Amino acid sequence: MAEDVTRIVPTLIEEEMKRSYIDYSMSVIVSRALPDVRDGLKPVQRRIIYAMDELSLRHDKPHKKSARIVGETMGKYHPHGESAIYDALVRMAQPFNMRYPLVDGHGNFGSVDGDPAAAQRYTEARLTAIAEELLVDIDKETIDWLPNFDDTLKEPTVLPSRIPNLLINGSSGIAVGMATNIPPHNLGEVVDALDALIDNPELSSLELMQYVQGPDFPTGALVVGTDAVRSLYTTGRGILTVRAKTRIERERSGKQTIIVDELPYQVNKARLIESIATLVRDKKIQGVTDLRDESDKKEGLRIVIEVRRDVEAEVVLNQLFKHTNLQTSFGGIMLALVDGRPQVLNLKGMLWHYLMHRKDVVIRRTKFELRKAEERAHILAGLVIALDNLDEVIALIRASATPQAAHQGLMERFGLDDIQAKAILDMRLERLTRLERDKIIEERRQLLKEIEYLKAVLGSERMLMGIIKKELRDVKKSFADPRKTRIIDAVDEIKEEELIVEEEVTVLLTRMGYIKRMPLSVYRSQRRGGMGATAMQTRDEDWVEKVVTTTTRQSLLLFTTSGKAYWLKVYDIPEAGRQAKGYLVSRLVQLAEDERVTAMIPVSLDAEGDLFFVTKNGICKRTPLSEFSNVRRSGLRALTLKPGDSLIQVKRVTDGDEMLIATADGKTIRFAVEDVRAMGREAAGVIGIRLREGDTVVGADSTVRGGLVLLVSLLGYGKVTPLEEFPLHKRGGGGVIALKVSEKSGPLSVMRIVHKEDEMLLMTAEGIAIRTQVSEIKELHRASLGVRVMRIEPPDRLSACSVFEVDDDQG
């Protein structure tokens, strides 16, 4: 015998590892991590609840120490670590984790801040009323039992479960190679769906969604979008977006405050507040001035986030949704054990397996009750015979020498069996009265009716399902409550633009390709003729070539020397101070090595109309803006340029607009946009203005009724002239004089269409900028030189201009 025990059997390690790991995996899957589809419980939860029931810890009985419950569970049914048992007990008592708590805890059972529960020696617990519904009829042979770990006791393999616990409380667990994450649901909705499925077993998961709206988390909050819910219910898998319930309070003073009333499921409040504070401190979220936790037991959860007056609260809220757990994802996997095997189920599968379990429980209970009723009726039939022959029975008993003889005599004389004869002999004398005789007869009559009914139930599917439906409705009446989580239609994913605080900025671009953005507010308005202030530090032989005024939420269309177009979001351009040289634009868009940006235009991504191109040599082209909606990172061909030509200006136009083109010699031409037909991106264009030898186009703009033409020379002389003084011609002409250029003024450098209420930002090649009002510029006729608009000291020269409207409440 000893030889057999000590014998070593050689085996391949890979085979032994495979076999052992499979055994371990199945143990974890079946005995630890996954819930049973029938009662929705993992083994440790089922053992705790059964142990509490054995301790008579009903909802109307006093609490007992958690340590007693843990010890009872561990000693009788669950021989594992006590901390694991206590953790499972605590979770079943936490109202922020369980939609319908199964344990009524007394003492510190943790909090939504992540605080741990007190030690088990301090806390007390008992079952909740709804947990008792899991145990109803457990003593009526409704379930199977198996030996406990040491074969000294029996434990239930599953509980009868009059409530659909798996769906209403959900479950989560990580097994080997698989995981489950079932969200909780509303009891009333699940019962309604079960009712509908009983009435029509052909209903699909999609059709059942008219009863089950979606998950119903104990912490409330919002589930955003029904597509993920539909996926979860039809395939058993779906990623739900769960968002905190928030509101914005606005005061008359303009102060805005974000109030958080409900958090997504399983979000730790303390960690959330800490993460918001960190993001604010690191300036990843801007505009928050104060953050407070005003939660208490009376009012419930309340997080207060105060927002700076000049910042929109919606923008800050979107930033919070994007970067914090105010919005989370719940990866739903409806995996449960079906007949001991893990299976991913859809909504109908979950409901159907539960109904089949309840059907089995009701059938087994009915059979048990039928057997008991028949046994009792059989005994009562013997008692009735004895009462009908009372004198003879008494005489027979008195004449018998022993109880055994009396027992045998009753069986032989009246045709009774062993059980009936024993019942007669055990009957008390008080039952020989007429009243007791009538009670026995009435009891037997009622039992016969009950037997008839129980047999009918077993023989009728309709009656059987009717009982299940009635019991479900009773549960709904007792425990159902209003939905906590609201399902809202999907909103578009939060766009990056919505996370950006919108502000007016200027974007500066140098000839060598350095770009930066600056808040428009850094430029203070000056009177005309001023020296300006440094706006950008440029390198030697570099100068500011383009400047545009836009907002941080817009995009720029960039056009290059090769005729390609690129989209660049304004907020992607690094913000820099006055002295900074900027950032190479080639690092923001994929420019070729010899490619240079020559024009940029602020355009909304959803803008309509056409783009109007004007080149240095007077060539024009009109192309629908829609052709630039899908520009690749590597760029898109915008126009074909002839050798020696380059792009000067791009404007967005619509039918009915007019264009004004100006040249360095001070000539301008005005014509209708329709004179240039719309053409594709590859087209070269047509002549817009005929140039004299040596002359080049320096600017172009679309006209507006009642506008003024702003003209500024290379050395800072300029004027405004009414648009009406520029006659409308056909394209292709030589134009009319717009500015009388001279050696003193230098050639024409800037032409823009403006209004008197506008302001403008003039920029020199050396990065000196001046912001001034158009109304400061003198209005003169076409043929005049103009006045000094900006004091420029050669060799510096005017290089760029941006015109913008000013809000009434702005400086």
Domain with residue 689: its CATH number is 2.120.10.90
Low-confidence ranges of the chain (pLDDT < 50): 1-2, 528-533, 535, 540, 808-811
CA gap 717, 787 in Å, rounded? 5
Asked if residue 207 is part of any domain, the answer here is no
Looking at the DSSP assignment, which residues form a beta bridge with residue 292? 304
600 and 639 housed in the same domain = yes
Check the CA dihedral 601-604-605-607 and report its sign: negative
Active site residue 566: no
Same domain, 269 and 315: yes
**Bond before 795 cis per omega within 30 degrees:** yes
Spatial neighbors of 500 by CB under 8 A, at least 6 apart, are 315, 552, 553, 571
Whether 24 is covered by a domain: the verdict is: yes
Which pLDDT belongs to residue 47? 96
Beta bridge partners of 565: 559, 636
Look at residue 191 and tell me if it is in a domain.
no
According to the model, what pLDDT value does residue 637 have? 84
Number of other residues whose CB lies within 10 A of the CB of residue 454: 20
Q: How many domains does the chain have?
A: 4
CA 406 – CA 266 distance, rounded (Å): 72
Q: Do residues 406 and 543 share a domain? A: no
CA separation for the pair 409, 394 (Å, rounded): 12
Would you give the DSSP letter of residue 296? B
If asked whether residues 667 and 793 sit together in one domain, one would say: yes
Residues 415 and 529 in one domain: no
Write down the catalytic residue from 50, 86, 122, 514. 122
How much is the pLDDT for 532? 46
Number of Cβ within a 10 Å radius of residue 250: 11
Strands (E), 463-574: 486-488, 504-510, 514-519, 525-526, 533-534, 544-551, 555-560, 564-569
Q: Within a domain: residue 439?
A: yes
C-alpha 191, offset from chain centre: 27
Residues 438 and 389 in one domain: yes
- Of 181, 202, 219, the residue that ends a domain is 181
Same domain for 375 and 290: no
pTM for the model stands at: 0.68
| pLDDT at position 113 | 92
pLDDT of 361: 97
How does DSSP assign 10-76, residue by residue?
---HHHHHHHHHHHHHHHHIIIIIS-BTTT---HHHHHHHHHHHHTT--TTS--EEHHHHHHHHHHH
Helix, strand, coil percent values for the chain (each to nearest 5): 35, 25, 40
Same domain, 628 and 571: yes
Q: What is the largest CA-CA distance in the chain?
A: 153
pLDDT digits (tens, 9 = 90+) for 25-75: 665 565 677 899 999 999 999 999 999 999 999 999 999 999 999 999 999
Q: Are residues 551 and 458 in the same domain?
A: no
Whether residues 147 and 280 share a domain: the answer is no
Decide if 352 is inside a domain.
Answer: no
Q: Could you say which of 307, 325, 343 is where a domain stops?
A: 325
List the CATH number of the domain containing 266: 3.30.1360.40
The answer to whether position 461 is within a domain reads yes
State the residue range of the domain holding 438: 357-479
The CATH number that applies at residue 392 is 1.10.268.10
Quick check: 698 and 750 in contact, CB under 8 A?
Answer: yes
* Among 135, 157, 181, residue at a domain's last position: 181
Q: Is residue 211 part of a domain?
A: no
**Contact between residue 185 and residue 167 where contact means Cβ atoms under 8 Å apart:** yes
User: CATH number of the domain that 47 lies in?
Assistant: 3.90.199.10
CA atoms within 13 A on the CB side of 435: 2
For 574, residues 6+ apart whose C-beta sits below 8 A from its C-beta are: 516, 517, 582, 583
In tens, the pLDDT along 440-453 reads 889 999 999 999 99
For residue 75, being part of any structural domain is answered with yes
Own/partner long-range contacts of 625-633 (Cβ < 8 Å, ≥24 apart): 625/652, 627/680, 627/681, 628/557, 628/565, 628/567, 628/681, 629/605, 631/565, 631/566, 631/567, 633/589, 633/590
Q: Indicate whether 586 and 664 sit together in one domain.
A: yes
Residue 804 contacts residue 772 (beta carbons within 8 Å): no
Conformational region of residue 339, where left means phi above 0, alpha means psi within -120 to 50, and beta covers everything else: left
**Which residue from 781, 799, 790 is spatially nearest to 740, judged by alpha carbons?**
781
Mode of pairing for the β-strands spanning 647-653 and 171-174:
unpaired
- Whether residues 469 and 507 share a domain: the answer is no
